[in-house]
Amino acid sequence: MKTTKLIFKLFLFNLVLISCNDNDKPGLEEFLDRYENGIMISSEGNFGDKDGSLSFVAGDYSFASNFLYKEVNGAQLGGLVQSVAFDDENAYIILNDVSTIVVADRYTLEKKSVIMAGLENPRYMTIFNGKGYITNWGKGADETDDYIAVLDLASNSIEESSKIALDNGVERILAKDNKLYVSHNGGWSSNNIISVIDLVDNSVGEITVNDNPDDIFFTTSGDLVVLCKGKPLVYGDPPNYDVVEATTSSISFVDVSTKTVFKSLEFSKNIRGTIMSYSEGNIYYYSDNRVYKISETATELGADGLDVGDIYGMRAKNDKLYTLEYAFSELSKLRIIDYETESDLYATAVGLGASKIYFN
Amino acid sequence: MMKNRFVSFFCFLASVSVFAQKDSIVNYLEEVSVVADKRNKQEALGQKRIVFNAETIVKNPTNFTSLLRYNSPIVFKDFGNGGTSSARFRGTSASNTVVLWNGININSVGSGQTDFNSLSANTADQIIIKSGGSSLQYGSGAIGGAVHLKDVLTFEPHKDYQFFSSYGSFNTTSNFFKSNYGGGKWAIKVAGVFNKSNNDYEYIDDRYTDEDGDSWKNENGNYINYGIDFSLGYKFSDVNKIYFYSTGYYGDRLFSYGLPNPSAGSERNEDFNQRNLLKWQYKFGGFTQLLNASYITQEYRYYADKDAGDFDFGKSQKALLDYSLAYKLSTIWSFKYLMLIESTHGETNKIESKVRNAFSYGGIVTFKPSSKLISTLGIRKEYNSDFEVPLSVSLSGEQKLGGCIWLKANVSANYRVPTYNEMYWPIVGNKDLIPEHSKQGELGVELEKYGFKLNATFFYIKIKDKIIWRPVRNSNLWTPVNLDAAVNKGAELFLSYSKKINRHSFHFSGNYICTIAKDSETKKQLPYAPIHLMNYTMEYGYKRVKMYLQDLYQSSVYTNRLALDFYSLAPVRVLNLGVDIAICKNNKKTLVLGGKVNNFTNELYYFTNLRPMPGRNYAININYKF
């Protein structure tokens, strides 16, 4: 019986030892009443896990804070944060996988409204004349059901009757001079057009560009710059599965008055540009781990780029480069780099799968 | 006295449970028990097993997930009530859990897992939960543990029938019928199961509501499934018996989308499973040989849009031949030779047809110098047409200490081979994968006295080359890689107690598991591995009325490897209350009417992010045995 007792004591002892819990929680938990004069970062989270999030970094880098919306509202956004659109008051947080837009105060992030009806696979939104225009893939596998949903910002409801049907794979959207410009990245497949919608009569025109047009911007002179990523054709070996063959990638310039491509800076064969940003006459683009800067008047692509590693999101402003590390199993890292001096100004961990940067 | 109880316990397990059902007291005592079944001792020597029978099943009849969630040490991750559900033992992954049907591994060929809401266990005669590695016996996947569904055929003359039907909230109905017959030479079992639910429960999370501020409902969550079992045994003589088992199952489910936008749900999934097994047992001299020939087919059809006709599918057929020859040299030494040939054919609309062949063989030596000590050493080697498979080794021992205490120990090396999806999925399938492999050990003590049964087991598992799906840079692709190593350690505790005083009866049965499962690189707790899991059932009976309480607690789990609060699920606590009234009870028949309130405190709880489980809900049932 002595042995028995001993064994029992050992068991109890071990249970106590094992039960101890060692949570080490990271910092980054400073919260404010208003998130302004700084940088808002949206993180997608993983598709289906409903764990997209928002982060904020003060303009003077005095602090950074993650998972803000949950802190403010006590509930998660609840989906993959594809993008955010802003008007003076509100942030429209677009959740792709759950076909939802959460409307929150732009600066306090307090929830105001949630929009679901009329959305299916929403991607990006632009605001014009009291309306929000949201690109929607419809069903991913269906190439004929893409559309723009029209949101009445006063009532926060989608105007079903104003829906604009478009060709496959709608992505980015810009509004200018009563017209909408939509890049057709191609959704689950591929496409090669920019749609132009005249909001006077809702007529739709098309401009053909190279394959997989994604980021679009207007230059100060009013031309539309389009990043055509090229369509991946062949993937390489594991574990990286790099795209080894693709159709032509380019940065194309469109004269919107004639709807023609007047300049196209093409990448070398099987090299792709995948992210682009525009600031004060300069185009910053990302290709193969490097960011290049060219003038909007350039006639060829850049020669020397800045190595930034694997990134998933990028924005440039006043020659500062903001990059988001590609990370879906770790927290992404936000880096702020002075492009000219190539010096790091600031870095911090943001959410999982961070993808977009906004100035707030 | 002790001895008698022991003996009757063995008899109970060795016989069909329906026998025991006639003796309601025995049955009552053994609803959930630590197995001390000497017959099958070798299968789990040195390891921990618990067994349920029909009495446990009828307390959680709606799906297999809820049955095991309230009665076993397994952690489940299900995508809402009735949704896809996977099981984890001791903090290991879902593909480290083996599900066996009458000894045959039925994990999906594509994913290497079993969806615990796409099979019904209600007509099983025994459900055995074996914690710990057992690749020696069950091959690939048996790292965390095994769930064993058994149909029991016995030849002793008997005729037993059971009919069970329950109906409750959300138009949920669960029904089964089971008949077991023994006629000297013949043994027959026929059973059928039917489950259906609208499953449109209210989401009681008031942080998420529709435009009018009303609660959402679990839209697109309906399910229906049915199955039939047929088993037959023929006894040529005491030493020569043949058995045939067959089962078919069909399940049709919609997958709900959960919060924040339940109306976005449109997925549907169908499952078709068919399994056959022929088993021949023959004894001669000191030899016992057992031959299993099995053919099983599985198919799923997944509709991304339930209203569209097109679907993705996965189909597999597996044929296997399993032979063992055991020889008892003396009361001290016995030997067993094992051999298994397996051919698996799998395809999906995305993976062209692939055939994988495996051959394995092994041997087990059992050494039993006295009635107080028994130990075995076993080795198994598999040759697989797709890759090198590590050797499985298992060394076990059990030592009796004093009158009622057994000390149990086991060390083993186990593995899990890459699945079809992991190897052949278009573009991302990784043909360079190697099997996951583990080294593990456990030490347990088992005690039985004064109505108490206790099993406390410490475990240590080191897993290497875990296959993890990882995102591929600059794309939306995910690919499986042999990446992580993990160390899981902790303790499992099982306790049951039964007491009867005059017309009062009391019964308690519960599990507690503490799991520290850490990624070797990040040193953080693994996703979906709660540090604490506890469940118990407490029952009080007076005369013909029995009341019971079920309690489940699961501590917070992380939903990814970051191990941050934001990516976690809150602790879960659910309480269910039930009552059973025996309307008629005699030697021939028992008719019990029951009622149950599930989640009576109306607690909001989640097992996956933003897919709420039901609030308070009700069910009534009838359980008739004749």
Q: What residue ranges do the domains of chain B occupy? A: 2-186+196-625
Residues B580-592: pLDDT tens digits?
999 988 878 999 9
How large is the average pLDDT for residues A46-68?
A: 94
Q: Tell me the two tokens of residue B386.
A: 């797709």
Is any Cβ of chain A less than 8 angstroms from the Cβ of B207?
yes
Which residues of A are less than 8 Å from B564 in CB distance?
Answer: 25-26, 331
Distances (CA, A) of A202 to A148, A197, A254: 11, 6, 21
How large is the average pLDDT for residues A175-179?
A: 96
Pick the closest to residue B355 from B380, B383, B381, B384 (CA basis): B384
Which residues of B are less than 8 Å from A242 in CB distance?
Answer: 474
Pick the closest to residue B366 from B415, B332, B405, B401 (CA basis): B332
Reduced to 3 states (helix: H, G, I; strand: E, B; else coil), residue B413 is strand
pLDDT confidence of A25, banded at 50, 70, 90?
very low
With 60 as the cut, is the pLDDT of residue B15 above it?
no
With 70 as the cut, is the pLDDT of residue A92 above it?
yes
d(CA B26, CA B287): 34
CATH of domain B2-186+196-625: 2.40.170.20
Which residues of B are less than 8 Å from A328 in CB distance?
Answer: 471
Please write down the HEC assignment for all residues of chain A.
Answer: CHHHHHHHHHHHHHHHHHHCCCCCCCCCECCCCCCCCEEEEEECCCCCCCCCEEEEEECCCCCEECCHHHHHHCCCCCCCEEEEEECCCEEEEEECCCCEEEEEECCCCCEEEEECCCCCCEEEEEEECCEEEEEECCCCCCCCCCEEEEEECCCCEECHHHCEECCCCEEEEEEECCEEEEEECCCCCCCCEEEEEECCCCEEEEEECCCCEEEEEECCCCCEEEEECCCEEEECCCCCCCEEEECCCEEEEEECCCCEEEEEEECCCCCCCCEEEEECCEEEEEECCEEEEEECCCCCCCCCCEECCCEEEEEEECCEEEEEECCCCCEEEEEEEECCCCEEEEEEEEEECEEEEEEC
The larger pLDDT score, comparing residue B489 to residue B40, is at B489
Query: Which pLDDT value is given to residue A7?
Result: 47
The larger pLDDT score, comparing residue A3 to residue A324, is at A324
With 80 as the cut, is the pLDDT of residue A26 above it?
no
Task: Residue count of chain B, please give it.
Answer: 626
Is any Cβ of chain A less than 8 angstroms from the Cβ of B263?
yes
Least Cα separation, residue A124 to chain B (angstroms): 18
B232-256 exposure pattern, b = at least 16 Cβ within 10 A, e = fewer = bbebeeeeebebbbbbebebbbbbb
Residues B311-365: pLDDT tens digits?
999 999 999 999 999 999 999 999 999 999 999 999 998 888 899 999 999 999 9
Query: Which pLDDT value is given to residue B43?
Result: 64
How large is the average pLDDT for residues B52-79?
A: 92
Is any Cβ of chain B less than 8 angstroms from the Cβ of A116?
yes
B244 contact partners, CB below 8 Å, separation of at least 6: B231, B232, B233, B276, B277, B278, B279
Q: Tell me the two tokens of residue B121.
A: 């266990």
- Give the residues across from B196 on adjacent strands: B173, B224
Q: Do A239 and B562 touch (CB under 8 A)?
A: no
Which residues of B are less than 8 Å from A99 in CB distance?
Answer: 261, 264
Q: Do B472 and A240 touch (CB under 8 A)?
A: yes
Q: Do A241 and B479 touch (CB under 8 A)?
A: yes
Asked if residues A315 and A304 have their Cβ atoms less than 8 Å apart, the reply is: no
Rg of chain A over all Cα atoms, to the nearest angstrom:
23
With 50 as the cut, is the pLDDT of residue B180 above it?
yes
Secondary structure element (H or E) that encloses residue B156, with its range: none
Q: Indicate which of B566, B607, B608, B611 best probes the interface with A, i.e. most A CBs within 10 Å of its own CB.
A: B566
Which residues of A are less than 8 Å from B259 in CB distance?
Answer: 50, 78
Q: Do A75 and B490 touch (CB under 8 A)?
A: no
With 70 as the cut, is the pLDDT of residue B12 above it?
no
Pick the closest to residue B326 from B314, B316, B338 (CA basis): B338
- Closest in A76, A98, A240 to B473, CB measured: A240
Secondary structure element (H or E) that encloses residue B233, with its range: strand B223-237
- Closest in B207, B211, B401 to A4, CB measured: B401
Pick the closest to residue B246 from B147, B114, B101 (CA basis): B101
d(CA B378, CA B414): 12
Residues B387-408: pLDDT tens digits?
889 899 999 999 999 878 999 9
How does strand B97-101 pair with strand B145-150?
Answer: parallel
Least Cα separation, residue A205 to chain B (angstroms): 30
Q: Lowest-confidence range among A293-302, B29-38, B417-426, B482-491?
A: B29-38
Residues B505-532: pLDDT tens digits?
999 999 999 999 999 999 999 999 999 9
Least Cα separation, residue A341 to chain B (angstroms): 26
Which residues of A are less than 8 Å from B80 in CB distance?
Answer: none
Q: Do A49 and B565 touch (CB under 8 A)?
A: no
How large is the average pLDDT for residues B491-513?
A: 95
d(CA A142, CA A170): 12
Q: Tell me the two tokens of residue B297.
A: 């087919």
pTM for the structure as a whole: 0.90
Which residues of A are less than 8 Å from B261 in CB distance?
Answer: 78-79, 95, 98-100, 116
Which ipTM did the prediction report?
A: 0.90
- Closest in B475, B561, B566 to A241, CB measured: B475
First to last CA, chain B: 31
Which residues of A are less than 8 Å from B407 in CB distance?
Answer: 7
What is the residue-averaged pLDDT of chain B? 90
Q: What is the dihedral of CA A41, A44, A50, A56, to 10 degrees?
A: -10
Asked if residues B510 and B495 have their Cβ atoms less than 8 Å apart, the reply is: yes
List, as ranges, residues 248-307 from A with C-beta within 8 Å of B. 274
Query: Which pLDDT value is given to residue B362?
Result: 95
Question: Percent of chain B scored above 90 by pLDDT?
Answer: 79
Residues B199-232: pLDDT tens digits?
999 999 999 988 788 999 999 999 999 999 999 9
Pick the closest to residue A226 from A260, A270, A200 (CA basis): A260
* Main-chain phi, psi angles of B96, to 5 degrees: -100, 10
- Tokens 């478009």, located at residue: A166
With 50 as the cut, is the pLDDT of residue B566 above it?
yes
Q: What is the dihedral of CA A229, A233, A235, A236, to 10 degrees?
A: -100
List, as ranges, residues 143-182 from A with C-beta within 8 Å of B. none
Pick the closest to residue A320 from A306, A332, A310 (CA basis): A306
Which residues of A are less than 8 Å from B257 in CB distance?
Answer: 98
Query: Which pLDDT value is given to residue B25?
Result: 28
How large is the average pLDDT for residues B149-156?
A: 94
pLDDT confidence of B41, banded at 50, 70, 90?
low
Q: Do B474 and A243 touch (CB under 8 A)?
A: yes
Least Cα separation, residue A257 to chain B (angstroms): 35
How large is the average pLDDT for residues B246-271?
A: 95
Is any Cβ of chain A less than 8 angstroms from the Cβ of B560?
yes
Reduced to 3 states (helix: H, G, I; strand: E, B; else coil), residue B69 is helix
State the CB neighbour count (10 A cutoff) for residue A160.
10
Q: Do A70 and B566 touch (CB under 8 A)?
A: yes
The larger pLDDT score, comparing residue A15 to residue B375, is at B375
Pick the closest to residue B43 from B116, B119, B115, B150 (CA basis): B150
d(CA B610, CA B138): 36
Which residues of A are less than 8 Å from B514 in CB distance?
Answer: 15, 18-19
Q: Do B561 and A240 touch (CB under 8 A)?
A: no
**Angle value at C-alpha A106, between A54 and A351, nearest 5 degrees:** 5
Is any Cβ of chain B less than 8 angstroms from the Cβ of A117?
yes
